[in-house]
Chain A
Amino acid sequence: MAVIPVERKPLSLAERTYLPQIAAGLKTTLKHIFQPTVTLEYPEQRPTIPPGYRGVPTLVFDPHGREKCVSCQLCEFVCPPKAIRITPGGIDPADPAAHVEKRPQEFEIDMLRCIYCGLCQEVCPEEAIFLQNQYSMTGYTRAEMVNNKQKLYELGGTLPDAHFKWDKKKAAEEHGNAH
């Protein structure tokens, strides 16, 4: 095991006059003056958000315009600060997505409680809830900071779907081999 004692040398006479340090300090300062700035003029300039950023949680539609959430309430269960409240509801039989059977009647995320941990997105078995790149949420009242279902879909929009599992299920049912 390599243990190295840190080096401590007493100051030389020249160093005790402060002068070499002043010169070295000025040199460092001058060097940094001519380097590009590291700050952003927020909010005019915005930082680039990397893919996979955990911003405000949102609900998404699939490319066919179906709400992906089936109100299984797994995100509500896992949410560590209990920020999510879901009221499950049925789907009108006339609806093209009636075979999905359930959708949230109301879906509320309290952004004053949310800690942006991303567990809801991680556990979601439908890929319906996503933390996207929105990071700045403000409001004048507490009520404004609770995102309801409509707001969540507005923020979320439509995301591509690799599986279309419910469409596949419907097709299988129509061919008579459900489950």
Chain B
Amino acid sequence: MPAEFTFPDNAAKAADAAPEFETEKMSLSMGPSHPSTHGVLRLQLEIDGEIVTKCDPVLGYLHRGDEKIAENMTYNQFVPYTDRLDYIAPLANNVAYAIAVERLAKLEVPPRCQAIRVIICELARISSHLLGLGAYGIDVGAWSIFLYTFTEREKLYKLFEELTGARFTTSYTRIGGLARDVPAGWNDRVLAFCDQFLPILDEVLALLTRNKIFMDRTVDIGVISKADAIAYGLTGPNLRGSGVPFDLRKDAPYSGYEKYEFDVPVGTKGDCYDRYLCRGEEMKQSVRIVRQAIASFPGGDWYVKDARRIFAPPKEKILTSMEELINNFMIVTEGPQIPAGEVYFEAENPKGTLGFFIVSKGGGVPWRMKIRSPSFCNLSILPKVCVGTFVSDVVSILGSLDFVMGEADR
């Protein structure tokens, strides 16, 4: 039985609205396959007329036991599973996971690898926010936004496909490096994408930002105060929309983010409109980071050289040298040799901070892995923020939180 949530302020507002018209409360199941819920989330609403008096999110429809799966395979074998956490931005998950294990192994990847990781993380952020924006447009009744953002997303997918070999399930990082180097001319194509993307982004945002219908659906809807946002553990654009300037890329830089100059957009009111504005601005900042990373793109290796028991030798060597062949077999069958210890690493993903807590007893398999997914924590605010709103506003709030159930249920 889920806990009973009572919040005096909102509940009182709902109850005091018109006591003489108080009617029997109705229970409404929203989802798990409702067109306006993102993924398979079920909201058990209790409504009084049009006003929501209670909201219980029911999670777990997409649970696959990823944390347990991780205990049963080597570190590199788990990379494809990280694609399936936040499947809107798989590259960012790959990077977060690889850095977590590398922190545990105390490995330092070369600058070229770091720069590639920053570029793909920011492209993943753009791709994720584009989908979030498009889907949010549909949620509040603006269809054309979705078509324009998806056209841009397709261009990004072409770039991902060329880089990683897959559009969606990228599986691009390895412990101590990447699956492969960037193809020739890829950076130029990324720059070309950035150049044509900004005007289109402005065009798309112009359709919503000053649109009265959109503003009626979002301004002052789903207001999350600064204190609440922190108390409920919100992260990412949802936290920054409430005015907390917390961004791990600035506050605890990883993968060389300290080298790049960018701004952190924050909201002032914490309503749906602020969260939308923050996402729009973040995409522009991501383009800035990508441009800087490509302008100062380092040469050299894209994998660690001095980690013979962690990163597999190059194919050339495996085919010609017996030592390297044996090494390859050892790394694949026993897994990358990670020392005993534990580590917690969080990365600023498009949806918020994705954290990996890994306990290793040495060897190639984690003893325990905990995944702190931003979507799961962001959803925890729903019972609070939905109370006292209209049923149609619940849809608007859900869209503005921009969560992915693959990650929330993992």
Contact = CB atoms under 8 A, between A and B. Distances in A.
Interface of A: 1-8, 11, 15-16, 18, 20-21, 24-25, 28-29, 32, 38, 50-54, 72, 74, 77-78, 80, 115-119, 122-123, 125-127, 131, 162-163, 165
A4 B329 CA distance: 51
Interface stretch (B21-29, B204-212, B391-399): B204-212
A125 B212 contact: no
B169 A18 contact: no
B281 A38 contact: no
B277 A4 contact: no
B328 A123 contact: yes
Nearest to B275: A6
B274 A6 contact: yes
B207 A52 contact: no
Given A4-B263, A8-B274, A119 B76 contact: yes
B80 A4 contact: no
Contacts of B183: 50-52
Contacts of A74: 329, 332-333
Interface in B93-122: none
Contacts of A52: 162, 165, 180, 183
Interface string B236-259: 000000010100001000000000
B131 interface: no
A2 B319 contact: no
A38 B154 contact: yes
Label chain B's interface by main secondary structure: helix
Contacts of B73: 80
Label chain A's interface by main secondary structure: loop
Contacts of A115: 80, 169
B17 to A, nearest CB: 26
Nearest to B280: A6
A50 B332 contact: no
A80 B80 contact: yes
B77 A119 contact: yes
Interface stretch (B50-58, B264-272, B401-409): B264-272
A126 B320 CA distance: 10
A11 B215 contact: yes
Contact of A3 (B166, B266, B318, B325): B266
Nearest to A25: B207
Nearest to B315: A127
B187 interface: no
Given A21-B210, A118-B179, A8 B268 contact: yes
Nearest to B204: A28
B213 interface: yes
A116 B76 contact: no
17 contacts: A1-B250, A2-B264, A6-B267, A8-B277, A16-B212, A29-B144, A51-B183, A74-B329, A74-B332, A78-B332, A115-B169, A117-B171, A118-B166, A119-B77, A125-B318, A131-B165, A165-B319
B267 A54 contact: no
